[in-house]
Amino acid sequence: METTAVIRGVHISAQKTRLVADLIRGKSVAQALNILTFSPKKAAGILKKAVESAIANAEHNDGADIDELKITTIFVDKAQSMKRFSARAKGRGNRIEKQTCHITVKVGA
């Protein structure tokens, strides 16, 4: 039985988030939370919340035993970019894209 947690529209690029997601794929939830707690990256805090949400969903909705859970699937999809303009010299402007992503975490026994 797999339980899912999805966080949509996170204000961080998918590329940066995938670096941290690759560290915890296939690990037990206790080991994954330990890795995320001590990682200095911004994405680690966001992924930790997603994993904790998936654990809570599994416990509440499915009555799963937390000690047996492991991260079966985790993936990060690119979401819509926010387009912004930055002022440049001589009245010009450059476009800046602020990246967002969707995070999906599935836990199961």
pLDDT tens-digit profile, the chain (109 residues): 899 999 999 999 999 999 999 999 999 999 999 999 999 999 999 999 999 999 999 999 988 889 899 999 999 999 999 999 999 999 999 999 999 999 999 999 8
For the chain, the straight-line distance linking the first and the last C-alpha, in angstroms and rounded, comes to 7
* Domain of residue 72, CATH code: 3.90.470.10
Range of 79's domain? 2-108
3 in Cβ contact with 62 (< 8 Å): yes
pLDDT attached to residue 109: 83
How far apart CA 59 and CA 5 sit, in angstroms, is 12
> For the chain, how many structural domains are there in total?
1
pLDDT attached to residue 87: 97
pLDDT attached to residue 53: 95
Secondary structure letter of residue 13 according to DSSP: -
**Residue 40 CA to its chain's centroid (Å):** 15
pTM of the complete model beyond 0.85:
yes
pLDDT attached to residue 10: 96
